Structure 1
């Protein structure tokens, strides 16, 4: 007679064979002609979809060419609305001579001929000499620029016609205090609009073609007047006064408000470089009037040196900012240190400090992955223009004592380095880790603390628990069940 264990296995096998036998519905199915599912094609389609619309939009001028005829003394506005010009320069020319290159003026009459932030050109108190068939707004690009050309004819204004009849439909519209107002930051100004049109029209105010309607709490509207409290550079622009009399061409006049403010500077506080390479320090300045910018190192004013130091500036497109650049052509150890960018104008001055250093950049966490031994592998990346000599990782659980690990130093790709640190057998709880790196010039800044959890991964726990309940007998039963199902399906 068979042993009970063998007898039990045979009974189990016969029972399983009944379960393994395919059902009729599945036997009748034929899958040979089914089209296989292609994961790669779907991924390609997704990529193609994602790439739709990512191409850079070409620059355009939306305004149309105009032929304008006015009388001497009038204000003229030549529009030039542009889009997609962040990477291009927009210029104004008259008879192929530059008036403005972005916000940089090339005319001696820049208090009367003004380029607005929206690229419109305003001519105040127009004269016969302003007449031209070639006022050109140009987006400069290679190989051909995009141009918009306006024509302007200014007629001599006879004295007897200088003042319209007292109660004519057009009447007179005047602005107060003048057509151009300069004010220093922090002051208050009041702008007014007066007219003799009868019956008195409704006066509407616009700023850069946007109606004044309480969107700025510092601009107070009071009938025909507006008051700007504690003006700042954002209040610069063209303030338009329109007499809404119901006609198709209501009378309008404008005030160009120019706010004088002390310089503002934008910098990167730390610039990383290395011995023997070219270093570039930048200082972005906005100011009105235009600021004078000077560079210092160790409190000594720097001057341009042929073959060693270059200093120059660029006007940034579509802004009132100028980028000032200090370039060190062949950096040496003595060039590292603190540099200062100082900007001065008639309103005030500002100084900002920049450190040029050869140490590695501050490491940044780039990833983390769990390991089979309930540990974790942390990854950082950083830059260094000199070989890395040492890494140091500190980690701790909660507020406990720091543990220190020194990961292996591996060669990077160019000046890019990746650091991997394995922390094994973590107990449940919250942890934080910090990395720093050293090269011949010293230690980097500590990375920002990276927090992670030491909780045991559920999938690993499942594997461990299932492994403990398996015995050789159980494994044999499972193997026989699988083989039985396989032969039955044949």
Structure 2
């Protein structure tokens, strides 16, 4: 695939303009509209998943610069392609129309697109909202059938009925897709003896999952001394207030609802804290080991070596005392 590089020497000022225009547009700051009669692009473009979407912008001979943007990303600036997506192609750039095509659209292509135009030194914008209909939708008159529905297709659906007599009547229907739990995050953690430790288990499910905790195939009962279970709709926490040697080991989080269940193993392991004796030994070793860095002198007198050891030892001991208290 040949990547089209932008012509930087002709387009750098235009890039600055389009970037500022996009920034103003999406931060809620109104862009100067200039001539109020500037024609707008179509408000909505609806295509099925896998088809091609054409985004058109009507212009006139007063226009000096044009660009298409997806949110704050520049797709095309004039004839120069700025995005790397091979599905986005330029259809026309004439005195009357500036249009692009997005081939093989997917659901993540849905959203706002902006045609940014400069004319008479005044930037103007026109927006298009791309709507992508997922495959598997079959509509017959007042019925909408969704075949093989997935949890991503849950949400609000809108039905509009209209004729030549009155304004359209719109009704909304909320579709809830039930699915069994799946655990999205479960990570082990290390905790020193005597410290507080927490194991977390996150699970997505509709209806919400119920959680249970096990250790070595034995279910943990709520109210055990020193251990607490906190459950939320999508999160469960196993809290140890004072970790002991007996608490270390492998724990199992089980998430379930009426459609199924799943589980994940989480390890609570010991994390050793440095003792005073080990820290002092490390300090002595560091202080008495000759420095071998660039420019170091290894042949020193005994007096000089002892003084160097004291210099290293003092700040490390002070640091240890500060961390302890």
Above 0.5 in TM-score? no
Q: TM-score, normalised by structure 1?
A: 0.29
Of structures 1 and 2, the one scoring higher in RCO (CA 8 A, sep 6+) is: 2
For the pair shown, which has the larger CA radius of gyration, 1 or 2?
1
Q: TM-score, normalised by structure 2?
A: 0.42
